[in-house]
Amino acid sequence: MRPWAWWVLAAAAGAAAAWRFVLADGWAAAFGWLACAALLAAGWREWSWRRSLQALAQKLRDPRDLNWGGASGGELAAAVESVLRGLREDLERARAQESHLRELVEALPWGLVELDHRRRAVWVNPPAAALLGVPREQAGEMSAVALFRRHEVDELLDRAERVGEAVRDLELGGVLQVVARRLPAGGFLLLVRDVTRDRRAEAVRRDFVANVSHELRTPLASVRAMAEALRDGGLEDPRLAARFLGQMLQEVDRMSRLVNDLLDLSALEAGVVRLRWEDLQAHELLEAVARRYGPAAARKGVTLLVQPERAQVRGDRDRLEQALGNLVDNAIKYTPSGGRVVLKTELRDGEVYLVVEDTGPGIPPEHLPRVFERFYRADPSRSRAEGGTGLGLAITKHIAVAHGGRVEAANRPTGGARLAVVLPAGGGTPER
């Protein structure tokens, strides 16, 4: 009831008490006066409570201290103010925690995208915006398909909606792995990672295993066939047995070269090869390699020439001779009889070029960027016929990199290929 209603009732009770007093009804008059006082007190308390509640409402709008007025609402005011103070402190802590969590999420290296139930972007962190190539300020309200520019994202979200979580790779310049998770309150959270390098590494590993398997399978099959032939009576023919045994030894040597090259390449790629650094003269390296491969060049009718220029490099003699030997061996294989292979030194822009040129057919332009890859052959059938493992040029590349240098491959204007190991002039141990 409103305060005035209590006071009206109090006035009526007072009037009735006065009337009973006039009629000399003392007990009734006394009861009436008591009722009047009780109603007045109830009206006053109602008025005081309403005033306190009005002050409370004003305090909720304005946190400054107010004059609550009236002792009747003081206890309520104090209790409410204490609760409000606690709520404000909890709210400040929650805001600080939210700010801290947002900073952590913003600093994550992975992209995060929040979608609402309509599959529209609600929030995109900086890595996700960078991976998707979309400014953050433009990402809001974009549909998932528009954001990723791939319709396959809808299929991903459909699956996540059914089973709770789904993963898919999307081609978007590179390869992006998108993990979609359904949120309990509706919508989705997407985790976006650039896995281009990982996928390429997986492809390289698959190709590597396939190539090694192929390279080993062929000689093993030959050895097995010849061993079976010898077992089934071939030993009775001395000439056939001698020929088969010679071929078996060749195949075993081929497998041994492959295994040794694989071990070398693995050690170089892992960076566990310890180089014995010393100052070396470039012309001495070229002449040592020419002496080693001179007989092989003579057997094929290829002229092997050295045109050195004095230059000093710093490195591991054995490893650098191995790298140059792989280039010379490759050049001899591809140079026809009557041709020539030239080893020479060039000084250019503070670098020493250890060059091997040949007069062979050259390298098809489309193959030039890949000649130093493992097992890569511009002419696979010819390389295998020559007994190569397909790892020599890859080993050369890693030896050059270990010395702080690089490799180059090009075709000569007059015909033939030009491959080079480029090292810093005067040497210098590369930083590790």
Round the average pLDDT of the chain to a whole number and report it.
82
> What pLDDT is attached to residue 255?
80
Of the listed ranges 38-47, 112-121, 411-420, the least confidently predicted one is 38-47
Judged against a pLDDT cut of 50, whether residue 185 lies above it is answered with yes
Section 25-29 average pLDDT: 71
pLDDT value at 52 more than 80: no
Q: What is the pLDDT of residue 20?
A: 67
Q: Do both 143 and 216 map to the same domain?
A: no
- The rounded distance, in Å, linking the Cα atoms of 415 and 423 is 25
Residue 163 is inside which H or E element, if any?
helix 152-163
DSSP 209-242: HHHHHHHHHHHHHHHHHHHHHHHTTGGGSHHHHH
Q: Place 31 in a pLDDT band, splitting at 50, 70 and 90.
A: confident
The CA distances from residue 422 to 18, 208, 239, 290, in Å, are 123, 27, 50, 18
pLDDT at 3 (0 to 100): 66
pLDDT value of position 100: 78
The single residue listed with the structure tokens 């409570």 is 49
- Are 161 and 286 found together in one domain? no
102 belongs to a structural domain: no
Q: At residue 287, does pLDDT exceed 90?
A: yes
Strand order in the sheet with 417-424: 303-307, 340-348, 351-358, 417-424, 406-411
Does residue 359 carry a pLDDT above 80? yes
Q: What is the pLDDT of residues 333-347, one digit of tens each?
A: 999 999 999 999 999
Choose among 152, 207, 208, 206: nearest CA to 175: 152
Q: Are residues 8 and 148 in the same domain?
A: no
Which of the listed residues 139, 174, 194 is the one where a domain comes to its end? 194
| Claim to verify: residue 303 and residue 391 sit in the same structural domain | yes
- Please check whether residue 378 lies inside any domain of the structure: yes
pLDDT over 50 at 429, yes or no: no
Distance CA 250, CA 258 (A): 12
**Residues written for the chain:** 432
Q: Are residues 292 and 167 in the same domain?
A: no
Residue 233: per-residue pLDDT: 84
Q: How far apart are CA 112 and CA 175, in angstroms?
A: 16
d(CA 202, CA 22): 111
pLDDT for the residue numbered 60? 56
Domain-embedded: residue 103: no
Q: Are residues 304 and 386 in the same domain?
A: yes
Structural domain range at position 134: 108-194
What total of structural domains would you count in the chain? 4
**Co-location of 190 and 205 in the same domain:** no
Domain-ending residue, one of 75, 97, 119? 97
pLDDT of residue 213: 74
> Which residues are CB-neighbours of 194 under 8 A, at least 6 positions away?
131, 174, 175, 176, 177
Burial 307-337 (b: 16+ CB within 10 A, else e): ebeebebbbbeebbbbbbbbbbbbbbbbbee
> For residues 425 and 298, is the Cβ–Cβ distance under 8 A?
no
**pTM higher than the cut 0.85:** no
Specify if 37 maps to a domain: yes
> Do 349 and 413 belong together in one domain?
yes
Which CATH number belongs to the domain containing residue 246 in this structure? 1.10.287.130
Point out the domain boundary residue: 67, 97, 127: 97
Determine the average pLDDT of the residues in 107-112: 82
46 falls in which pLDDT band (50, 70, 90)? confident
Q: Note whether 178 and 254 are same-domain residues.
A: no
Share of residues in the chain with pLDDT > 90 (%): 34
pLDDT for residue 285? 93
Q: Which residues of 22-48 are buried (b: 16+ CB within 10 A; e: fewer)?
A: eeeeeeebeebbebbeebbebbbebbb
**Which segment, 17-21, 34-38, 83-87, 352-356, is predicted with the most confidence on average?**
352-356
Which whole number is the average pLDDT over 286-311?
Answer: 92
374, part of any domain: yes
* Highest-scoring range by mean pLDDT, 20-34, 290-304, 363-377: 290-304
Whether 122 and 218 map to the same domain: the answer is no
Question: Are 138 and 242 found together in one domain?
Answer: no
Say yes or no: 186 and 86 in one domain. no
